[in-house]
Structure formats: structure tokens, C-alpha cells
Chain A
Amino acid sequence: MEKLIILPFSIGFIYLLGILGFRFVKWVGGLSRLDKLRLIHSFKTRRFFDSLKEVFIEGLLHRKIFRKNPVLGYMHMSLAFGWFLLIVVGHFEVMVSRQSLIAPIYLPVFFRYFETSHSFPLSGIFSFLMDLLLLFVLSGVALAMLKRFKKKLFGMKKTTRLKTGDRIALVSLWMIFPLRLLAEGMSAGLYGNGSFLTSTLGHIFGNLNSETANLSLWTAYSCSLGFFFAALPNSRYMHIPTEILLIFVRSAGVKLKKRNNTYTNIQVFSCSRCGLCLDNCQLSAAGINNTQSVYILKNIRNHNLSDEQLFNCLLCGKCEVDCPVGINTIDLRITQRIESTRQYNSSYEYLEDGPAPNADTVYFAGCMTHLTPGIIASMKKLFQLAGESVWFMDKEKAPCCGRPLMLAGQYEAASKLIANNTRKIIGSEAKKLVVSCPICYKVFKEDYELVNVEVVFHAEYILNLIRQQIITLKKGSDRIIYHDPCELGRGMGMFEPPREVLRATGKVIPIKNEKQMAHCCGGSLGNLKISQPERALLRNQAVEDYLQYRPDVLATACPMCKKTFSRHPGLKVQDISEMVVQALQSKVQPKAVTKKAKSEVLEAELI
């Protein structure tokens, strides 16, 4: 009869294990054959231990959340790591008391109820430890309750809306440990098997202590555990088991390859809906509050994702920076866009393979640079100074690079443009491709297969010219703020080369929101739904932040950002190439190498 109290716990636990087993098998089974091999192989290498370490550091200690906010980190750590230690120490306690390595799984959970004597070795130390750990976990539960009412204390401005399933799980999770405290306190009062915390509570209960009350408290504790386990698969707490799987799958090198597969599910279920991405998302400044990554992940999970939400995102990547689970939100969203628009791609049959003149270097300005002629003029000047033979590929007619199509999810259409451009670039037998637009740069680097052609961003190219002293710049006294373009900074991880170029022309001021946390200008091609007035709100938000530092010039390395910012009246915006050309030492004469001179040198070399 007494053993009936384990029933709710056991039913919940077995149900949870069944669902988890089913889902994990389905997810891993749904990966491609190559990905499965990758996963199996990763178990045999050092990556396995790296993953284990990551599970410990991120899954239990929550290091990333600690970095974001220590109180929030402590709350997560006390719940996760504290509970984990309770389970581990509890098992040791049972092993010692029973003098056996095998014990029924429920026994550590209800140990104080079943083991009323306290005469086994080290029992005093164990009960002290268990009380201490319970206090540790309870402090986390208290903080979690506090967070529901005062989230600002935890460094969060916004938090997600809860669903019914989440509420049930949340309430039962909150109940587990206070009930355990009460039940253990009652047992300690009755049998004297407690330590500093539970014994004190037992004394406070005093005359209230009775076998019936004891039994009902333990039953309530078992029920709350059972409810939590049963509610877990359909709530956000599914992230706890899924995150472990995600860490192993991710470190095996599995990626989304422009197509949905079960890796999408693994990532979607790993989202804890903590809402850290909400605070980073700039769209809320424009009053858009239902398209952030956390909601997209939720909608994918519930199969109710609309195009209006899916395409209303700047794809700036700021949400990825602070995601404690490390979900690749940008890839995930682009993959969803690809799936959503798969039915209507274009073939671009009108594209022709035009003649490709031979050149050492190809310059691809890109559509956006054509709207900012100042950048093209500066680049031409620099090419002239460098004395290179440059083929300006899209001077008059050329297709787009394909990145805007990619961002709109039109992957197959983009591959047509990519194929056409690739043939031309390879046909020119160039060694180097220079681009002055980060949007183009990203697609050339990631999706083009340009064998033997080095793709160079203009910041790197200019930096090289400065280092080789082909151009010399006069350092001015201008205060410069450098705006990191999303596609270049977070997108390609290039933060330093443009800054180094700017340091040669003036004083670059470090600011708070830069590099990984840089603003998006609001002009992003990633968002197809946002209106121009809303874009202006985002831009103004960024400009206001920049104006605090009283810059003379706002420098950027992206024609799109330049175009967006230049609509704001209170700010001078320039591309780095324009700033470099302005700072050129007037004494240096352009040492243009004519074709004739070049052929003479070549001839001389041959002789």
C-alpha cells in the first residue's frame, strides 16, 4: 500500500522515456546517411568528449547565460546543476545505505520516506549534503518565481508568452521542490532522519506531524513530479533532453543544407523560449513583435508558420549571438523560406554567356554599389593606383550575384545566376575577384565554387595596398564611427580589416554596440515585408545611438548601409573606399602601368 505513492512518478517517468525514445530515434533516423555516418564517427573521436564537456558547461552550468546576466545564470544553474547533483548524491546515498550498486530508480527520489532509520555509515553527511542541495535548488525556484514578476532584475526587458502546456509544466516544476521540502521536513519530524533544513522544519511542524499528513505530502510530491514529466514533451521544457542531442549532432558537423530535415526538428525542440533573442531583436523598435526567432521556432513546432512572419526578419543575426542553446536561427529561417517558395523559382533563360575578357583581377560592384556611384569611382581610382588590369564585370550588364534571391528563399533561382556568373569569372582566368558589397561577398565566398580565384573584400584589398605602401594615406583628425554591416560582421566574421583601414585615415572611436552586437541599419534585403517607414524607425534608432559619440563621419563598408543611413539628415556617411580616396596623399602621383609598359617588363623577364 505504501508503495502506491511512487505510482504518479513512475507513470510520468515511463511516459516521458517512451516519448523521448520515439522522438530521438525518429530524429536521428531522419538525418541523411552521410550525417548519420558523421554522428557515429564523432563518437569515436575527441569530439565526443568535447560534446560531453559542452553538455556539462552549457546544459548544467549555463555559462552563456551567466555571461549575459549572473542572476539569470545562477537561477538556471541552481535548478539544472542542483537537481542533477540531488539525483547523483541521492543515488550514492542509496548505494551506501543498501550496500549495493543497484537500486530501484524510484528509491533515491522517495528515500526519506522509505528509509526511516538513519544508522548507515555517513548518513549524517549525506543528509546534510542533500539538505544543502535542496536549499540550492529552492533558491533557484524562488528566483524563477520572482522573475515572472520582476524580469528587469534579470536583465531581461521582454519575455515570451506561455502556452497552456507550458503553464502546466511550469507550475508542476515550481511545486516539486517546495513539496519535497515539506514532505522531507514532515518525515524528519516523525523519524528524525533530516539535517539542518528538514529537521528544523520538522520541529516547526511540531504537533502537525502525523503519518497521514506525511503520506499525503509525499503523494503530492510524487504527483507534481509525474505531472511535470507528463507535461514535458508538449511544453518548452522539451529543450532539456533535446539540447543534449543537439550538442552531439551539431559537434558531429551536421548542418542544414538548404533543405528541411530532422535537424530542423532537433533545433526547434531545443529552443527553451527563454526570450533572450527578443531583447536583441531590433524589429520591436518598429512595433513588430511576433516574428522574432523564438516565435518562428514555436510556429515551426506547432505547424502554423505564416509567410508574413517568416519573411518579416532582417536576417541580421543578432538573435544568434546571445542564444544560450546556440541555435542557428538564420540558416533555419532561410531553409524555411526555401521550403515555402520552392514551388515558384525562376529559370532565367534569358541569361547569356557573354564574352569574358582576360584579366588578373575581376571587380564585381553588385547591384547596390551601382546605386552608390561614389564607391565605384573610388574603387576605380584605387585600381588605377594599384596599376592592375581589372575587368569591371558588371559595368554595364551583368546578372545579380544571387544573394538577394537566397535571402528570399529562391535557392534554385539563385543557383542559375551563380552558374552564369561562375562561368564568366572562370572564363576571364582571373586570380582575384574584388567585391565592394558584403551581400555579394557572402554569396561569392559561401555558394560559388570559384577554383583558383581568391575572393577579396574591398576592405582587405585596400588594407593590402596600404601595407605594401602602394598608397599612402594622410591621417586626419576626424572622429570616425565604423558601422559593421550585418552580412560582413556577424555574417562573415570580418570585423578588423575595415577598422584597420579607417585607422589610417582618422580616429576610430570604439562604441558599445559594435562588432557582434552592432546595429542593423534597417535596410536589410533579408526582410521582404517591412515597410519603409518602419525601416526608418530602425535606422533612426541606430543613428541616435551613434550620435551620442559625436562622430564626424559614420563609416561603413556596405553600399546598402550607406544608402540607408544617407537618408538621415543629421549624419555624414561614407564608405571606407571613399574615405581612403579622400585621404590619399596628394604628392603621390598615380603610377598607372600602361599595357605597353607591362608587356615590356614581361618581355624582359622572358629574355
Chain B
Amino acid sequence: MNDLSFLKPASRQIDFDNFDDRLLLYVLQYEPSFFTCISCGGCTATCSAGNLTNFNVRKIGLWLRRGETEKLSEEIQKCMFCGKCTLVCPRDINIRNVILLIKKRIAMLKNENTPA
């Protein structure tokens, strides 16, 4: 209730010179069905994790498209993989796999950034 941050939105401008599409391209390569997402929010409405915390699957998709890797790596941890989102999706997107791919790619990127 006290989350009033929307009153002071941060800049939403996307800098295409610094656009990080590594995550998005990876997901689309292995789960092309994500192309068809219409951001209806059905997944968010049914989400078990979203029921417990402010986790939002639709926002995951939005951030994925905007290349917000930093924010995603925190948020994606909350998913419990129960699979309800996949069952209710009107576009038959395999959302569970999308989440798994994001998690995997983020771990891969972290490994790349930290020299062994």
C-alpha cells in the first residue's frame, strides 16, 4: 500500500546504443513462442509466487524486452516454477521455460563477467 514510487517514475528512456539484448535473444532462440506474448497479464493473475510477494510475470516479459538484466536477476529469483502461468496462457507460451532460460542466461553472463 505504501509503495508510491510510481508517483516519481524514473526515466523510461531506452538507450539503444547501450541496449543489452543478450538475454532477450537467448530466450527467443530457445523459446520462440515468447514472440507471441500479448502482455495480457493472465500469468500474473494466477501466479502462486505473485500471491505471496510482488512478483509479476508480465513485468518479467516487459523487462526482458527492455534488456533490464540487472533488475531481472533479482526479480526472477522469486518464481516457484509451479507452472500455472503456462497453463493459463492464452497464447500457449511455455513461460516456465522462459523463466528457466532467463535464470540460466543470467548465471552464464555472471560467469562471463567474473574472470575465473
Chain A contacts to B: CB under 8 angstroms: 307-308, 311, 341, 343-344, 346-348, 350-351, 367-368, 370-371, 396-400, 404-405, 408, 410, 413, 417, 523, 525, 528-533, 563
Could you tell me the distance between the alpha carbons of A532 and B103 in the complex, rounded to whole angstroms? 22
The chain B residue with its CB closest to the CB of A347 is B77
Whole-angstrom distance between the Cβ of A516 and the nearest chain B Cβ: 25
Given contacts A529-B94, A532-B92, contact A348 B100 (CB under 8 A): no
A346, B84: Cβ atoms closer than 8 Å: no
Whole-angstrom distance between the Cβ of A529 and the nearest chain B Cβ: 6
Which residues of chain B are within 8 angstroms of A343 by Cβ–Cβ distance?
107, 111
Which residues of chain A are within 8 angstroms of B83 by Cβ–Cβ distance?
367-368, 404, 525
Could you tell me the distance between the alpha carbons of A563 and B86 in the complex, rounded to whole angstroms? 12
Whole-angstrom distance between the Cβ of B113 and the nearest chain A Cβ: 14
B80, A341: Cβ atoms closer than 8 Å: no
B48, A348: Cβ atoms closer than 8 Å: no
A341, B104: Cβ atoms closer than 8 Å: yes
A405, B81: Cβ atoms closer than 8 Å: yes
Given contacts A344-B107, A528-B94, contact A404 B82 (CB under 8 A): yes
A311, B84: Cβ atoms closer than 8 Å: no
Chain B contacts to A: CB under 8 angstroms: 30, 33, 46, 48-49, 51-53, 77-84, 87-88, 92, 94, 96-97, 100, 103-104, 106-107, 111
Given contacts A371-B88, A397-B51, contact A344 B104 (CB under 8 A): yes
Which residues of chain B are within 8 angstroms of A417 by Cβ–Cβ distance?
80
Show 12 A/B contacts (Cβ-Cβ < 8 Å), sorted by A.
Answer: A308-B30, A348-B78, A367-B48, A368-B83, A370-B84, A371-B88, A396-B51, A405-B81, A410-B81, A413-B81, A531-B33, A532-B92
The chain A residue with its CB closest to the CB of B33 is A531
The chain B residue with its CB closest to the CB of A416 is B80
Could you tell me the distance between the alpha carbons of A367 and B88 in the complex, rounded to whole angstroms? 12
The chain A residue with its CB closest to the CB of B83 is A525
A367, B79: Cβ atoms closer than 8 Å: no
B48, A350: Cβ atoms closer than 8 Å: no
Could you tell me the distance between the alpha carbons of A404 and B96 in the complex, rounded to whole angstroms? 10
B79, A346: Cβ atoms closer than 8 Å: yes
Given contacts A347-B77, A531-B92, A533-B92, contact A367 B84 (CB under 8 A): yes
Could you tell me the distance between the alpha carbons of A398 and B88 in the complex, rounded to whole angstroms? 19
The chain A residue with its CB closest to the CB of B96 is A528
The chain B residue with its CB closest to the CB of A370 is B84
The chain B residue with its CB closest to the CB of A343 is B107
The chain B residue with its CB closest to the CB of A405 is B81
Whole-angstrom distance between the Cβ of A394 and the nearest chain B Cβ: 9
Could you tell me the distance between the alpha carbons of A399 and B78 in the complex, rounded to whole angstroms? 11
